[in-house]
């Protein structure tokens, strides 16, 4: 029993605390049920971020690593101790938080753009054509062409590491369009051009910095400190969230990698990792039905791998109904029913809670103050507790942004900085194709020079034959054409596949 982690304090019930006699009215999240996922919802300014920080701190203290996005810049405050004031003291006393001290948590900062944290990278092959098509906002036809490009890379043994490699493959497909169309399916020049333009847009948004090496290793997101605390991984997302397709696709890729790589462990005393998906509506907006179904399957199954997924959004119905039913731990902050959309969201929230005879849920949602929420967590045997109006516990960290100097100090002490801060550029598709072309050109130049010497005195018919075989400055000859074609087909003889995750385990493909 000594190894069982303590429950995480969420807050204290203010309506019917007598309904929780064993805890003195306090509301807890049970670690052994935290992998049953959760939802934190509510209007802007009602305290969702502070609730997430409180939960992240609680998980960290019991040795559970956390990954979460910092959309507004204030989640970074988890790294610094807070400041005790009279208002905070009153809340601590009212809730009855034992052993409260202001302290920071062990934090590692990440950033897709490499500015506010360690760079987060993945190879093009790891992302795969499905998610890349979503990032590039391609239509079905263009996505099909991208599938062919990836298959061609596999068949010719060409590594796709960064966007330059992908461009090189697109150029190769354009040059060999007729033969590729015959072997793999129709490839049109307009589709290739559309993909190239989409790559330019992605690059202008800074997305090209995400593709490359060293690629992120999941083990580095699941670290604990020497004193047994879980590391909180914070992704700087204030700029990233402005590119919603890139933001949601990256988090979905990360979730799929966790699903694919982690072993089955069943029910544990505490999760191996808690994954927080802020601005969850971006994941499901404009997503094809098939993709939503696959995400639902991953969320359902990933709990058996020890991962808890917590969605955060303004409205509970931002998450599809099929997935909403899988989120056992709920924290609902205030919703203001000003519009028909708001009124529908209030009804949805009220209907998804276990009723409490002493609480009118729909009425309470509209009257909640900042720092208050309706809470229902899973208790013994996975049974959800009746919803309680709850005063949310205050976090121990700073509730606000940190300075550049403080961020730099945290980065300087990071255990993974030396591993990820320097880009690695090894030989891949672009270099391999360029070298083959150079070799082919050299093979063509040598006999051409020799032929020119031996036939220096010849003209007329001899010159015409020489031009046809070896080419001129403006037109390639048969030798150069055959050499280039031979070079381009060498890769197909290697006979190996480039391993990658096509949306990870979501689509059942191995790495």
Find where tokens 């700029």 sit.
239
Q: What's the CA gap between 160 and 304, in Å, rounded?
A: 32
| pLDDT band at residue 463 using 50, 70 and 90 as cut-offs | low
The pLDDT value recorded for residue 495 is: 35
How many residues in the chain? 511
For residue range 431-451, what is the model confidence (pLDDT) as tens digits?
A: 888 888 777 777 666 665 555
Is residue 507 pLDDT above 90, yes or no?
Answer: no
| pLDDT band at residue 504 using 50, 70 and 90 as cut-offs | very low
* Tokens describing residue 259: 């699903």
H/E segment holding residue 223: none
* Residues of the chain above pLDDT 70, percent: 86
Mean pLDDT of 215-234: 96
User: Does residue 214 sit in helix, strand or coil?
Assistant: coil
Find where tokens 């239509």 sit.
139
* DSSP-assigned states of every residue in 437-492: HHHHHHHHHHHHHHHHHHTTT--THHHHHHHHHHB-SSSB-HHHHHHHHHHHHHGG
For residue range 339-397, what is the model confidence (pLDDT) as tens digits?
A: 887 788 888 888 889 889 889 998 999 899 989 999 999 998 899 999 999 999 999 99
**Cβ partners under 8 Å of residue 258, min gap 6:** 218, 273, 275, 302, 305, 307
Peptide bond into 430 cis (omega under 30): no
For residue range 86-133, what is the model confidence (pLDDT) as tens digits?
A: 999 999 999 999 999 999 999 999 999 999 999 999 999 999 998 899
Mean pLDDT of 253-259: 90
H/E segment holding residue 392: strand 388-392
**Maximum C-alpha span of the chain:** 110
Please tell me what DSSP assigns to residue 81: B
Kindly list the distances between the CA atom of residue 365 and the CA atoms of 10, 260, 489, in Å, as whole numbers in the listed order: 18, 38, 65
The pLDDT value recorded for residue 51 is: 96
Mean pLDDT of 164-173: 94
Q: Which of 420-424, 452-456, 487-491 has the lowest mean pLDDT?
A: 487-491
For residue range 273-323, what is the model confidence (pLDDT) as tens digits?
A: 999 999 888 888 777 777 788 788 888 899 999 999 999 999 888 888 888
Q: What's the CA gap between 127 and 509, in Å, rounded?
A: 12
Residue 161 · residue 169 · CB < 8 Å = no
Torsion of CA 427, 433, 436, 438, to 10 degrees: -100
Angle at 91 between CA 89 and CA 92, to 5 degrees: 65
> Can you say how many angstroms the Cα of residue 450 is from the centroid of all Cα atoms in its chain?
57
Number of H helices, E strands in the chain: 18, 12
For residue range 243-252, what is the model confidence (pLDDT) as tens digits?
A: 888 888 888 8
Q: What's the CA gap between 104 and 106, in Å, rounded?
A: 7
Residue 511 · residue 171 · CB < 8 Å = no
> Can you say how many angstroms the Cα of residue 449 is from the centroid of all Cα atoms in its chain?
55
């Amino acid at each position: 029993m000594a190894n069982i982690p303590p429950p995480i304090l969420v807050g204290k019930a203010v309506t019917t605390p007598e309904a929780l006699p064993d805890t003195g009215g306090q509301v807890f999240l049970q670690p052994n049920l935290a992998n049953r996922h959760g939802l934190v919802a509510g209007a802007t300014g009602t305290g969702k971020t502070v609730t997430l920080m409180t939960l992240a701190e609680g998980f960290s203290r019991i040795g559970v690593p956390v990954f979460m996005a910092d959309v507004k810049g204030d989640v970074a405050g988890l790294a610094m101790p807070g400041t005790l004031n009279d208002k905070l003291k009153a809340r601590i006393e009212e809730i009855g938080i034992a052993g409260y001290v202001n302290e920071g948590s062990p934090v590692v900062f990440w950033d897709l753009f490499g500015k506010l944290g360690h760079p987060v990278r993945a190879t093009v092959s790891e992302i795969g054509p499905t998610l890349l098509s979503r990032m590039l906002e391609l239509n079905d036809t263009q996505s099909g062409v991208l599938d062919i490009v990836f298959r061609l890379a596999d068949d010719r043994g060409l590594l796709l590491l960064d966007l330059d490699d992908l461009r090189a493959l697109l150029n190769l497909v354009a040059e060999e369009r007729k033969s590729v169309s015959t072997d793999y399916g129709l490839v049109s020049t307009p589709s290739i051009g559309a993909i190239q333009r989409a790559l330019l847009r992605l690059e202008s948004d800074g997305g090209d910095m995400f593709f490359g090496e060293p690629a992120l290793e999941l083990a580095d997101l699941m670290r604990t400190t020497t004193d047994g605390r879980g590391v909180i991984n914070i992704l700087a997302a204030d700029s990233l969230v402005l590119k919603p397709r890139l933001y949601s696709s990256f988090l979905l890729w990360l979730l799929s990698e966790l699903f694919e790589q982690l072993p089955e462990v069943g029910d544990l005393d505490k999760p191996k990792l808690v994954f927080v998906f802020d601005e969850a509506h971006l994941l499901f907006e404009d997503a094809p039905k098939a993709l939503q179904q696959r995400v639902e399957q991953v969320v359902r199954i990933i709990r058996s791998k020890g991962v808890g997924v917590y969605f955060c959004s303004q409205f509970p119905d931002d998450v599809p109904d099929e997935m909403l039913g899988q989120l056992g731990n709920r924290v609902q902050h205030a919703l203001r029913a000003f519009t028909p959309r708001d009124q529908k969201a209030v009804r949805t929230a009220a209907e998804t809670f276990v009723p409490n005879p002493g609480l009118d849920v729909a009425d309470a949602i509209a009257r909640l103050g900042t720092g208050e929420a309706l809470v229902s967590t899973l208790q013994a045997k996975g049974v959800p507790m009746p919803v309680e109006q709850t005063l949310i516990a205050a976090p121990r960290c700073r509730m606000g942004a940190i300075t550049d100097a403080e961020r730099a100090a945290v980065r300087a002490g990071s255990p993974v900085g030396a591993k990820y801060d320097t880009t690695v550029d090894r030989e891949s598709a672009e270099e391999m194709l360029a070298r083959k072309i150079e070799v082919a050109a050299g093979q063509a130049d040598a006999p051409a020079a020799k032929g020119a010497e031996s036939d220096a005195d010849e003209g007329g018919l001899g010159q015409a034959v020489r031009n046809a075989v070896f080419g001129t400055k403006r037109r390639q000859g048969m030798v150069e054409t055959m050499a280039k074609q031979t070079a381009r087909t060498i890769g197909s003889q290697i006979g190996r596949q480039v391993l990658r995750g096509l949306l990870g385990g979501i689509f059942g493909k191995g790495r």
